[in-house]
Amino acid sequence: MLPQIPPPADRRIALRVTPEAQHALRQGHPWLFDQAIVHQSHAGAAGDLAVVFDDRRRFLAIGLYDPTSPLRVRILQHGHPAAIDEAWLHARIAAAAALRADLPATGTTGYRLIHGENDGLPGLVVDRYEDTLVVKLYTAAWLPWLSRVLPALTAVQPCARVVLRLSRKLLDRDEGLCGLREGLLTGAGFDAAAGLVQFSEHGLRFEADVLRGQKTGFFLDQRENRARVERLARGKRVLNVFAYTGGFSLYAARGGAREILSVDLSAPALDAARRNFDLNRRAAAVAAARHLTQVADAFDALAALRERGERYDLVIVDPPAFAKRAAEVDAALRAYARLTALALGVTRPGGLLVSASCSSRVDAELFFTTVKRAAEAAGRPLYERERTGHASDHPIGFPEGAYLKCLYAVAG
Ligand code: SAH
């Protein structure tokens, strides 16, 4: 249930910003940082509306103010003024839903419905898992708006229940939450102790722990890469490192892989991977595939498998984001290089390496070059077959929105 959260102030904050920020806003960029503000009419609370003017006092953009974040304003609308109300929210949500309208016909009932800034709703993510909507907030600025977002959301996307998730940053500053907790917001039929929901992706059944799982419970952004792996898996011995709940593994199994080893540091994730296999045993190829799991650090496991002489025809490497801040980029690149060399150590010559990076701070070109150079340095050059990004329900609305990159390459 929604606690009483004070509504946003009626009075809008007026902002003047640096020429660089004016330029970025004219280009449609959704972020305004605190250092870019040169004049502010009055102090505001999280969720108040802020209007940004140019040097000639013309309207540039309107957005949600967040005094607790260096990302001070998340822009809702550029170019011309608008009343930000339930009708406005409804229109944005409906536009986002229209982009995903063809997904259910592909046997997919789990997908991202609202992808934050990339769908014109910065800091707000909504994932659909069949009849459950999971709302994830990345800024306190959405809290006073929740009572308007929910009716708009459920009008566009009828559902049985809505579950709330909060970003780590929001959870850490408990006092601003006005008693709001993660969990069921509206609806019924949800076992909060288990937190589990089921859904389909391209006809495969999966469970997701929408309360404790990473992101909102599943890495929906890899759906199309998983489908590609399915098409490449026939007859193969597959290694899936950073397997989480076995998404790539299950697709490989349905694609006819003989054997799949799923490696992850998280024992609960691999327990879920085994349950996901059980959910799909009626698919003959899934029933026929041998699926093994190993709880281990990926770097250690790769070195040990190599030592034992294990070799695979298809190796999938999909690590967590190694660089969330600019200062972490160099270390991330070194980690990608190390992982590449380790993964090639267990890839048979002529085998396929699928290597992904979801670090938004690591530029795609730099990632691909790093992987290829590491392969050359290891004496196992890569022959590139394909480069891909996120699934279609994760549109790219601004440069920072392009975070996922994936290389498919044959190992020499
Ligand atoms: N490929 C997955 C998503 C992977 S997310 C999918 O399609 O669903 C990254 C995973 O890496 C998480 O499950 C996390 O538990 C795991 N992880 C993080 N650090 C690790 C490490 N050092 N060794 C092994 N797994 C790790």
Give 14-67 pLDDT, tens digit per residue.
999 999 999 999 999 999 999 999 999 999 999 999 999 999 999 999 999 999
DSSP string, 151-211: HHHHHHS--SEEEEEE-HHHHH-GGGGTT--SEEEEES---TTT-EEEEEETTEEEEEETT
Alpha carbon nearest to ligand 1 atom 22, residue: 297
- Nearest ligand 1 atom, CA 240: 1
CATH topology of domain 86-197: Transcription Regulator spoIIAA (3.30.750)
Q: How far is the CA of 212 from the centre of ligand 1 (A)?
A: 15
- Between CA 409 and CA 215 the distance in angstroms is 28
Alpha carbon nearest to ligand 1 atom 5, residue: 320
Tokens of 250: 């299950």
In degrees, rounded to 5, the angle at the alpha carbon of residue 108 between the alpha carbons of residues 102 and 114 is: 70
- Per-residue pLDDT tens listing for the chain (412 residues): 677 888 999 999 999 999 999 999 999 999 999 999 999 999 999 999 999 999 999 999 999 999 999 999 999 999 999 999 999 999 999 999 999 999 999 999 999 999 999 999 999 999 999 999 999 999 999 999 999 999 999 999 999 999 999 999 999 887 778 889 999 999 988 888 888 999 999 999 999 999 999 999 999 999 999 999 999 999 999 999 999 999 999 999 999 999 999 999 999 999 999 999 999 999 999 999 999 999 999 999 999 999 999 999 999 999 999 988 889 999 999 999 999 999 999 999 999 999 999 999 999 999 999 999 999 999 999 999 999 999 999 999 999 899 999 999 999 9
Note whether 13-78 and 86-197 share their fold: no
Q: How far is the CA of 290 from the centre of ligand 1 (A)?
A: 21
CATH topology of domain 219-411: Rossmann fold (3.40.50)
Verify whether residue 358 is a known catalytic residue: yes
Q: How far is the CA of 299 from the centre of ligand 1 (A)?
A: 12
Residue 1 confidence (pLDDT): 63
Most informative mutation of 216, 242, 299, 324 for ligand 1 (most atoms within 8 A of CB): 242
All structural domains of the chain with their residue ranges: 13-78, 86-197, 219-411
**365 HSE (CA, 13 A, CB side):** 0
Residue 247 confidence (pLDDT): 98
**Amino acid at position 254, single letter:** R
- Considering the domain delimited by 13-78, tell me its CATH architecture: Roll (2.30)
Q: For the chain, how big is the Rg over CA atoms in Å?
A: 23
Out of 159, 178, 358, 406, the active site residue is 358
Kindly report, residue by residue over 169-216, the tens digit of the pLDDT. 999 887 778 889 999 999 988 888 888 999 999 999 999 999 999 999
Cα separation values, 104 from 126, 129, 302, Å: 16, 11, 37
pTM: 0.96
Query: Among the residues of 255-363, which ranges form H helices?
Result: 267-279, 284-288, 298-307, 329-344
Q: Are 348 and 313 in contact (CB under 8 A)?
A: yes
Residue 299 confidence (pLDDT): 98
- Nearest ligand 1 atom, CA 269: 13
Residue 106 confidence (pLDDT): 97
- Nearest ligand 1 atom, CA 225: 7
